[in-house]
């Protein structure tokens, strides 16, 4: 029979089988490491390779599709060479070439959804919710970025105030976080010289421990152990009592 005949006779089959098997085996790098040594026929070997190839293709398609879906706009131009729209189109091509099924409508949705959801972006993004042309959406976003950045000598009215307010809110949040995270006394530079205290954050004049200027005058927030009545407190009470006429 002919060499390319898929139905060889019974005598030719073993010869062709060995040739096909060796051809496949010799073109695989480290076949034993891939667990191919148990495959007895060329059909078994080819079936195994086909399954493995399909698995790799699915993983590759998933990675490329995730790269498109996870892409986010962080700044710069939208249209033109090297623009963000070009990047999205490139990721879209990679995903579809790998077997992903993404319609034009889905591409536009992914494109619009990749922009920030901050207050200044909401008006333009809401206006693109029903847009069906990718180029139109990209051009409108490019014009918005140009106006927002003051490309024609002036930005969007009120945009600077919004940005300044957002910056101020962010700074306040950071300050609050620092204050909440800070532990220890409010005045770490002060050192109490009272031998019964020796703590930081106050001086001996304001110390409410035994021997301090405010001995026994514990604040309402104090949860620790309280000293017994001291001589200073006793003397003060005695002096007050002696001053009362009998």
Query: Is pLDDT of 198 > 60?
Result: yes
125 and 101, same structural domain? yes
Q: Which of 126, 149, 172 corresponds to the end of one domain?
A: 149
Q: Residues 76-97: pLDDT tens digits?
A: 899 989 999 999 999 999 999 8
> Is 2 within the bounds of a domain?
no
Query: Is pLDDT of 187 > 50?
Result: yes
196 and 136, same structural domain? no
> Is 144 within the bounds of a domain?
yes
Give 93-98's long-range contacts (Cβ < 8 A, gap of 24+).
Answer: 94/64, 94/67, 94/68, 95/61, 95/64, 95/65, 95/67, 95/68, 97/64, 98/57, 98/60, 98/61, 98/64, 98/65
> Is 68 within the bounds of a domain?
yes
Element (H, E) at 143: helix 134-148
> Is 158 within the bounds of a domain?
no
Q: What mean pLDDT do residues 1-19 have? A: 78
pLDDT for residue 53? 67
How many domains are there within the chain?
Answer: 3
- Closest alpha carbon to 85 in 159, 136, 123: 136
> Is 174 within the bounds of a domain?
no
Q: Residues 159-186: pLDDT tens digits?
A: 566 667 778 888 888 887 777 666 556 6
Query: Is pLDDT of 154 > 50?
Result: no
129 and 75, same structural domain? yes
> Is 114 within the bounds of a domain?
yes
104 and 49, same structural domain? no
The Cα-based distances of 195 to 70, 154, 201, 232 in angstroms read 63, 67, 15, 15
The Cα-based distances of 191 to 14, 50, 133, 194, 207 in angstroms read 96, 77, 71, 9, 10
DSSP secondary structure of 220-245: TT--S--PPPPHHHHHHHHHHHHTS-
Residue 70 CA, chain-centre distance (Å), reads 11
Q: Residues 203-233: pLDDT tens digits?
A: 999 898 888 898 888 888 787 788 775 444 4
Q: List the structure tokens of 94.
A: 């990679």
Cα–Cα distance measured from residue 134 to residue 84, given in angstroms and rounded to the nearest whole number:
12
Cα–Cα distance measured from residue 225 to residue 203, given in angstroms and rounded to the nearest whole number:
20
Sequence-ordered list of residues with C-beta below 8 angstroms from that of 202, at least 6 positions apart, any chain: 185, 187, 190, 192
> Is 103 within the bounds of a domain?
yes
86 and 66, same structural domain? yes
79 and 125, same structural domain? yes
115 and 101, same structural domain? yes
Q: Residues 44-80: pLDDT tens digits?
A: 888 877 777 666 578 888 999 999 999 999 988 999 8
66 and 21, same structural domain? no
* Assessment of whether the complete model's pTM goes beyond 0.95: no
113 and 64, same structural domain? yes
Q: List the structure tokens of 135.
A: 């180029």
> Is 90 within the bounds of a domain?
yes
Strand partners, 200: 191
Total residue count of the chain as it appears in this document: 246
29 and 93, same structural domain? no
196 and 138, same structural domain? no
Cα–Cα distance measured from residue 121 to residue 108, given in angstroms and rounded to the nearest whole number:
16
Provide Rg for the chain, Cα atoms: 40
pLDDT for residue 138? 94
203 and 121, same structural domain? no
Q: Residues 101-151: pLDDT tens digits?
A: 999 999 999 999 999 988 889 889 999 988 999 999 999 999 999 888 765
Q: Which of 149, 171, 192 corresponds to the end of one domain?
A: 149
Structural domain including 41 reads 11-54
């Amino acid at each position: 029979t002919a060499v390319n005949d898929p139905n060889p006779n019974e005598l030719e089959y073993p010869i062709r089988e060995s040739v096909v098997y060796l051809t496949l085996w010799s073109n695989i790098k480290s076949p034993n490491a891939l667990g191919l040594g148990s495959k007895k026929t060329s059909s078994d070997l080819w079936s195994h390779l086909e399954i493995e190839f399909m698995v790799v293709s699915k993983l590759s398609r998933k990675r490329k599709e995730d790269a498109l879906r996870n892409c986010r706009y962080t700044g710069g131009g939208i249209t033109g060479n090297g623009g963000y729209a070009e990047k999205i189109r490139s990721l879209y091509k990679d995903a579809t070439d790998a077997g992903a099924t993404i319609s034009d409508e889905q591409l536009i949705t992914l494109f619009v959804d990749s922009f920030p959801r901050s207050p200044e972006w909401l008006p333009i993004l809401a206006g693109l919710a029903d847009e069906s042309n990718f180029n139109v959406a990209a051009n409108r976003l490019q014009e918005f970025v140009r106006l927002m950045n003051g490309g024609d000598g002036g930005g969007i009215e009120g945009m600077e105030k919004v940005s300044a307010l957002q910056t101020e809110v962010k700074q306040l949040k950071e300050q609050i976080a620092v204050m909440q995270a800070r532990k220890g006394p409010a005045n770490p530079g002060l050192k109490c010289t009272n031998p019964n205290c020796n703590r930081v954050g106050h001086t001996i004049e304001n110390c409410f421990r035994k021997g301090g200027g405010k001995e026994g005058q514990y604040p309402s927030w104090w949860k620790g152990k309280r000293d017994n009545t001291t001589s200073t407190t006793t003397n003060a009470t005695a002096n007050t009592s002696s001053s009362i006429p009998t």
